[in-house]
Structure 1
Amino acid sequence: MRLLVISLLLMACSIKSHAQQVHLKGRVVDTLSAPLSSAHVFIQQQKRRTITTNSEGEFFVELVKGLFKLEITYTGYQKFSTNLYISGDSTIQIVMRPKAEELEEVTITADRTLQSDQFQTTRMSTNSLSGKEISSIPVLGGEADVIKTIQLLPGVTKGADGTTDLFVRGGAADQNLVLLDGAPVYNTGHLFGFLSVFNPDVLDKVESINGAFPAEYGGRLSSILDVTSRSSLPTKTQVKGNIGLLASRLMIEQPILKDKLSFTLAGRRTYVDQVVKLVGQDLPYFFYDLNGKILYRPNPNSRLEFTFYEGNDVLSFSNVPRASLRNRNITTDFILGNSTQTLRWDRSFHNFNSTVSLYRTVFQYSIRNTYQENSLYVTSRIEDLGGKWLVTSDSIHHLVSLTAGVEMIRHQVAPNRITTTGEISDILKSNSSLPQTSLESSLFLQGNASITTRLNASVGLRTSSAYVDQTFYYNIEPRFSLRYKLDSVTALKFSFSRMSQYLHRVSSAAVAFPTDIWYPVTRNVKPQTADQVALGVQRTIPERNLFVSVEGYYKWMHQLIGYKEGASLLLNVDFEKQLVQGQGRAYGLEVLIKKESGKLTGWLSYTWAVAERQYDAVNGGQWFLARYDRRHNAALVLNYQLSKKWSLSSVFEFISGSRFTPIIGQYVVPSPTLVGVDLIPVYASANSVKLADTHRLDIGAKFRPHPNKKFQGEWFAGIYNVYNRASPIGIVIMPNGDGSFRYEQPGLFGLLPFVSYGFKF
């Protein structure tokens, strides 16, 4: 009986205590109502607690009814502090004011996307960039470029100079999942890879996740490049544009219903085809981009977005006014393009958020050649329909935040279709690879916990599967990361991630050409998997606005896609027989020192990396260095704000040369026709020779004549490759007069001045 009475008393106390609990939901925004993610929220009641805002600038906390102190800090903004009394479930919004730096003539405010925000969490192996950082860097042709900027950060290796391929921590170019507002983008380059498809005017923030992958991400082995477009409701009509040497762009943001409904539309087009006409030449090539977004916020707790992107590269010799071509009936047409559409619904509740997104993405190309009565038509296409539901809870008993969700994708792939007519059909018959439909699905759950005031942990699990051609594959992908805070400015971090990949890019060359195709797993082609561990230390130096990160990693890769020696994939519809699968390993050390506010901003990055491969059918089954094992990568990026009107920028980059397999001899065999002989090359060990190292200095200057006026113009001029050292892009075999041969390395892009004019009002 006594036990029953005690139990009832405890239950009553519990009920009374629970009745005193109330929920507070807050949203932290800037003066333009744009959400501030990763803001630090300090709450002092019975004890002091610290939480951070999510990607929507929101936080949720359970409190005891009564008085509490609220403080919010964010780099570059004034500290917010107040005392509040809470008597029931409440919702508040806090507007943060920019903090002016003490400068003589200029006010500098920090961007909302900061690398140093990672210090407060278990996140590591992640590079963050803002739209402002991207637009301030001098690049090829003066065109601000996401991919070129990412290539200047630790862990990322470029392919040939000027291309948009990324090789991350020893991975291949197809092992990076590139997302634009949640939709995959399969081709990231315009102008045959010299410019990326992302219009810099529409960008809000960019994250490159190279390790410590959150459980919500999957589908690729090496990295997630998450590109987010502008998502704040404009308060007035805003127009922004740029006129450059390679392309021009224009964007308009228009509110329709105040604080509820708006649209954004942006376009970009190159005019190389028109410029060369001025010098009496013909280059019938152009590309264009269209970006659009409709944003609807019916109430503070709900938001609906529709985003679309359309971009194409067009090369057509059909209408070139050359009598010699018309008389011979020669035409060439090439079209390559991406298309994405995304519908996203965000809904906030008192202690959790729900995000539902649906998307469609298409990548396709077509090549048509005709000569008199002969024609060749080659096409390839992949279309994705996908959906994702993500639920996040920021606070459970003040200790644990949870993320859970489900994702499904249908890949519809028509890999290679070849149609021929005329005499050429006797040599190359019409044929096509079998179309494939692949269904991918995944479930994920992740918890982030504050174990002590010094120790934080993130534990996640993702289960992924693929069903194609009556074959089912399944993988379990654990994720784990840990942060131990040594002091207020130094933290040790550790992570483990397993990733799986069910879709591969089959290439006829080492870099992306229009003849590349995407191909899912089949009965014979297994999924690729990778395990990665990383250990690092992060340190902030507040008095100097510096963030320092040093990381080491090791990655094991299995069932990697490779090609048989001597494989020919061009115009080959039965390419699966040419594929081999093997294993890989990669390890390295990465250093980043970044200054994110003040008159001088920028970063210094360095990567030492090794990437190796092993296939039973290649190189005698022995391990060899990967094609893009570029041992040393270093970059120094600086931007100096002289005044409100003037700023200077520079980029210095050093990269070790990539590798190739040389011919060391040849032997003679009788020709199959028994007339004459054939020369068969003899190759050295795979990728045993290194190309020359590359280094380059770019400089730029920006001038804003009237920075305080409604109409603001901006001149951006500079020099790409200041000391005119052309970067080698490959290797060419040149015959000598005595029957021997030699290798030469052709260079690309010497000294190139650029100028552009931007405006906004």
Structure 2
Amino acid sequence: MRWSRNFNSKLLMNTSLIYNNYSTKAEENMDVDMKVSTDINDYILKQDFSLFSSEKSTLRFGYSSTYHNIGPGKYKYEENAGTDRTLQNRYSWENGVYVSHQFKLSDKLELLYGLRASAFSVLGKGSFYTLDQNHNVIDTTFYKSGKIVKTYFNIEPRISVNYNLSNNSSLKASYARTTQNMHLLSNSAMSELSERWTSSSNYIKPQIADQASLGYFRNFADNRFEFSVEGYYKEMKNQIDFKDNANTSRKDDIETELLFGKGRAYGVEFLLRKRTGRFTGWISYTLSKSEKKIDGINQNKWYNATQDRTHDISVVGMYELSDKWSFSAAWVYYTGNAVSYPSGKYPVDGYEIPYFTERNGYRAPAYHRLDLEATKVLKETKRFTSELSIGLYNAYGRENPYMIEFKTNKDDPNKLSTYQYSLFKFMPSVSWNFKF
């Protein structure tokens, strides 16, 4: 729900009330029949003001307040209900105030700078843990509902400069600091059932990123085409990853399985876009690297982050055949995710345990697909428009990897077998869109 109000020609206010629910449900029927469900509930209040003091100056300021309720996991077993487990919820209250100023210094130079101050409060109800240097729990403290456990304060400055070299070209440079208090814990060596959400706590600190970028932008051929190239570098603090052989689920004290360090990401992005005519579209390419360095993982050396993608390509085309018919096609390609594959296995108490030598040292198969769509305008008047769209997702049926699992070979227990699971080989769609 959003309420907008113009106090006068210069001052605008937006008030937003937002409820957000994110939930996942999954079933595993491989070794053990198990159902897992997680959910996040957010209650958000936002207040934004815009002050247009002159044609050259715009001031924006406001605040936001968010109450988080994370349900990290409910585990239900079909055969042995006595082992069902529900992890304790985590609660937090996140607040922030900001101010930014966009100022046109001259016809060629424009400046945007701002500051955001954030406060993240960890709240009860729940048990919170004190750990020793070996990540073992040495004390547990229970906090009542609504009790503040710990509050993190952070200052997030940002600035960007845009300089027009000519009527058709410009340079842009920027710097920004951001903080993140909601964390997705993921183990690339396990199935997605091992993923879980958590928030900053008395032990887990907010992740902090500082990013700088520099780009060149140019329009040509009477503004029918635009081209841009932009490079960036990001340094990250308080990066999180599971330790080796971690128990990734069904634990309230998940902090005992985590290690912390630093990260970095850098790359260059290219974009060529056709803006006008019956045929429009763009080609984009990103060459990038994303790494982590955490003591206790990968012999304390830099290793690929799970989301590291060397190459990322998008080709999009749209064609207006007539006033009634239009067609579009989009092809995407990116390097497979960095994953940890086992180098072998060893027996422990009758179980075969995979042995990993390098964190995220392998690659899943590359991801690519083609999407097609055709749209027909059924009716168009000044007050009403309706369209019918027919689409095909993954038109050539690429079996992209969704999950890769390793299991002991049934015919030869000395070997490991690899299983790849894929989703959405072909997915047709029909939609009716209307405006009034």
TM-score, length-normalised on structure 1?
A: 0.48
Task: Tell me the equivalent position of 2:260.
Answer: 581
Alignment of 1:372-387 (within 5 A): 380-387=38-45
Deviation at 1:481, TM superposition (A): 0.2
Task: Tell me the equivalent position of 2:327.
Answer: 648
Partner letter of residue 359 of structure 1?
I
Higher relative contact order structure (alpha carbons within 8 Å, sequence separation ≥ 6): 1
Task: Tell me the equivalent position of 1:489.
Answer: 168
- Say whether 1:402 aligns with 2:59: yes
Partner of residue 698 from structure 1, selected from 359, 367, 371: 371
Partner letter of residue 293 of structure 2?
Q
Task: Tell me the equivalent position of 1:314.
Answer: none
Deviation at 1:538, TM superposition (A): 1.3
Would the aligned equivalents of 1:732 and 1:744 in 2 still touch at CA under 8 Å? Answer: yes
The whole-number CA distance in structure 1 between the counterparts of 2:193 and 2:345 is 32
Task: Tell me the equivalent position of 2:208.
Answer: 529
C-alpha spacing 1:628/1:420, structure 2 compared with 1 (3 Å) = closer
Partner of residue 687 from structure 1, selected from 326, 343, 360: 360
Alignment of 1:737-748 (within 5 A): 737-738=411-412, 739-743=414-418, 745-748=420-423
C-alpha spacing 1:454/1:715, structure 2 compared with 1 (3 Å) = closer
C-alpha spacing 1:593/1:512, structure 2 compared with 1 (3 Å) = farther
The whole-number CA distance in structure 1 between the counterparts of 2:153 and 2:6 is 31
Would the aligned equivalents of 1:365 and 1:514 in 2 still touch at CA under 8 Å? Answer: no
The whole-number CA distance in structure 2 between the counterparts of 1:376 and 1:698 is 34
Deviation at 1:507, TM superposition (A): 4.7
Deviation at 1:640, TM superposition (A): 0.6
Deviation at 1:421, TM superposition (A): 11
Deviation at 1:457, TM superposition (A): 1.0
C-alpha spacing 1:528/1:727, structure 2 compared with 1 (3 Å) = same
The whole-number CA distance in structure 1 between the counterparts of 2:217 and 2:391 is 34
**What does the per-residue CA deviation read over 1:133-189, in whole Å, with 9 as the maximum and x for residues that have no partner?**
xxxxxxxxxxxxxxxxxxxxxxxxxxxxxxxxxxxxxxxxxxxxxxxxxxxxxxxxx
TM-score, length-normalised on structure 2?
A: 0.80
- Say whether 1:441 aligns with 2:115: no
Number of residues of Structure 1 aligned to a counterpart in Structure 2? 404
Task: Tell me the equivalent position of 2:117.
Answer: 463
Would the aligned equivalents of 2:188 and 2:340 in 1 still touch at CA under 8 Å? Answer: no
SS at match of 1:729: strand
Deviation at 1:376, TM superposition (A): 9.1
- Say whether 1:552 aligns with 2:231: yes
**What does the per-residue CA deviation read over 1:181-202, in whole Å, with 9 as the maximum and x for residues that have no partner?**
xxxxxxxxxxxxxxxxxxxxxx
- Say whether 1:660 aligns with 2:339: yes
% same residue: 29
Deviation at 1:550, TM superposition (A): 1.2
| Structure 2 unmatched runs, 5+ | 123-147
Task: Tell me the equivalent position of 1:599.
Answer: 278
Partner letter of residue 505 of structure 1?
L
The whole-number CA distance in structure 1 between the counterparts of 2:422 and 2:86 is 38
Task: Tell me the equivalent position of 1:612.
Answer: 291
C-alpha spacing 1:415/1:695, structure 2 compared with 1 (3 Å) = closer
**What does the per-residue CA deviation read over 1:461-480, in whole Å, with 9 as the maximum and x for residues that have no partner?**
11111122431211111101
C-alpha spacing 1:716/1:348, structure 2 compared with 1 (3 Å) = same
The whole-number CA distance in structure 2 between the counterparts of 1:716 and 1:659 is 36
- Say whether 1:346 aligns with 2:20: no
Tell me which protein shows more helix as a share of its residues. 1
C-alpha spacing 1:467/1:512, structure 2 compared with 1 (3 Å) = farther
C-alpha spacing 1:408/1:529, structure 2 compared with 1 (3 Å) = same
Alignment of 1:252-263 (within 5 A): none
SS at match of 2:165: strand
- Say whether 1:569 aligns with 2:248: yes
The whole-number CA distance in structure 2 between the counterparts of 1:383 and 1:679 is 38
Deviation at 1:443, TM superposition (A): 1.9
The whole-number CA distance in structure 2 between the counterparts of 1:385 and 1:723 is 41
Deviation at 1:644, TM superposition (A): 1.7
SS at match of 1:540: strand
Deviation at 1:410, TM superposition (A): 2.4
Larger radius of gyration: 1
Would the aligned equivalents of 2:319 and 2:328 in 1 still touch at CA under 8 Å? Answer: yes
C-alpha spacing 1:700/1:631, structure 2 compared with 1 (3 Å) = same
Task: Tell me the equivalent position of 1:47.
Answer: none
SS at match of 1:576: helix
Would the aligned equivalents of 1:726 and 1:747 in 2 still touch at CA under 8 Å? Answer: yes
The whole-number CA distance in structure 2 between the counterparts of 1:419 and 1:742 is 27
The whole-number CA distance in structure 2 between the counterparts of 1:395 and 1:512 is 54
Would the aligned equivalents of 1:418 and 1:430 in 2 still touch at CA under 8 Å? Answer: yes
SS at match of 2:244: coil
**What does the per-residue CA deviation read over 1:540-561, in whole Å, with 9 as the maximum and x for residues that have no partner?**
2362532322111011111122
C-alpha spacing 1:395/1:757, structure 2 compared with 1 (3 Å) = closer
The whole-number CA distance in structure 1 between the counterparts of 2:390 and 2:38 is 40
Would the aligned equivalents of 1:431 and 1:573 in 2 still touch at CA under 8 Å? Answer: no
- Say whether 1:627 aligns with 2:306: yes
Would the aligned equivalents of 1:711 and 1:759 in 2 still touch at CA under 8 Å? Answer: no
Tell me which protein shows more strand as a share of its residues. 2
Partner of residue 428 from structure 2, selected from 732, 754, 761: 754
**What does the per-residue CA deviation read over 1:689-738, in whole Å, with 9 as the maximum and x for residues that have no partner?**
12222333333333446667998765544544444432233434363855
The whole-number CA distance in structure 1 between the counterparts of 2:96 and 2:302 is 33
C-alpha spacing 1:456/1:510, structure 2 compared with 1 (3 Å) = farther
Deviation at 1:393, TM superposition (A): 1.5
| Structure 1 unmatched runs, 5+ | 1-341, 370-374, 672-676
The whole-number CA distance in structure 2 between the counterparts of 1:525 and 1:380 is 20
